[in-house]
Structures are given as C-alpha cells and as structure tokens.
C-alpha cells in the first residue's frame, strides 16, 4: 500500500511509481525504443492492444475480489 495507495498490482518503481499492467507496458515501450516489446507492424501491434484490452476489461476484473464482492451484493 505504500507504493500504490489504492492497492492495485502490479507496481513498477523507476524513479517514479507506475502502476497498472498496460501503463507499465507502454512506459517500458517508450523508455526503451531500441528494445521494443510490441511489434512494429501496425496490424500485429493492434492485435496486441486488443489482447491487452480484453484482459484488462473482460478477464482480469472477474478475478478481482473487490469486483466480485460488489457484484455479489447486487444480487
């Protein structure tokens, strides 16, 4: 909780604190252009963005305890 007050994981410390998987990926991509994490081909890069969005908006929230607790209270 000290590094990230809202308690999200993961957290990366590189001078500043960066949290959220996608934000960390983009940070590393921009910081180290000589060693890209994403393909240079735009179509392949778009597929990577689609997969990241799918995980962050569809799959990952279902594994999050706070989301499950709130969802359960609605029923």
Domain ranges of the chain: 1-37, 38-75
Q: What is the pLDDT of residue 27?
A: 92
- What band does 63 get if pLDDT is binned at 50, 70 and 90? low
Query: Taking Cα atoms as reference points, which of 48, 57, 59 lies closest to residue 25?
Result: 48
Q: What is the pLDDT of residue 60?
A: 57
* Number of other residues whose CB lies within 10 A of the CB of residue 15: 5
Q: What is the length of the chain?
A: 75
Angle at alpha carbon of residue 31, lines to 16 and 64, rounded to 5°: 60
For strands 16-19 and 11-14, give the pairing: antiparallel
Q: What is the pLDDT of residue 66?
A: 63
Q: What is the pLDDT of residue 19?
A: 82
Convert the pLDDT of each residue in 7-39 to its tens digit.
767 888 898 888 877 888 889 999 999 999 999
Convert the pLDDT of each residue in 40-57 to its tens digit.
999 999 999 998 888 777
């Amino acid at each position: 909780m000290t590094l990230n007050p809202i308690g999200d994981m993961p957290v990366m410390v590189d001078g500043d604190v960066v949290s959220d998987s996608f934000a960390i990926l983009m940070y590393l991509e921009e910081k180290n252009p000589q060693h890209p994490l994403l393909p240079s081909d735009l179509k392949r890069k778009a597929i990577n963005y689609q997969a990241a969005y799918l995980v962050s908006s569809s799959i990952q929230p279902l594994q999050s305890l706070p989301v499950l607790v709130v969802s359960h209270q609605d029923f």
